[in-house]
Amino acid sequence: MDSTLISQGLDLMLYGMGTVFTFLTLLVGVTTLMSKIVNGLIIEQPEIPASTLSTGAGNVIAPAAVEPRIAKVIQAAIDQHRSKK
């Protein structure tokens, strides 16, 4: 009687481990496939050298120009936030 119980336990263990192994293998395959699809859809944008962005003091200048009106609004919001502390 013990041998059938052990046999059933081993069968159940192998079935469970096989299920987990199959699921994880499928998960890795699907993730790899999705990664390749997404990388194929992304449009490559040219990189801007870091030397053209740096001001020398560790500050970085944004590559796109901001309208002066928007810059004033942003600066006012920053000043208001800092004054609350």
Considering the domain boundaries, does residue 5 fall inside one?
A: yes
CA–chain centroid gap for 52, Å, is 27
- Residue 11, domain extent: 1-43
Each residue of 20-63: pLDDT tens digit?
Answer: 999 999 999 999 999 999 988 887 777 766 555 555 555 555 55
Considering the domain boundaries, does residue 72 fall inside one?
A: no
The predicted model gives 65-85 an average pLDDT of 89
Considering the domain boundaries, does residue 84 fall inside one?
A: no
pLDDT value of position 11: 96
Considering the domain boundaries, does residue 7 fall inside one?
A: yes
Considering the domain boundaries, does residue 74 fall inside one?
A: no
Number of domains in the chain: 1
pLDDT value of position 43: 76
pLDDT value of position 52: 56
Considering the domain boundaries, does residue 17 fall inside one?
A: yes
What is the spatial distance between Cα 61 and Cα 53, in angstroms, rounded to a whole number? 5
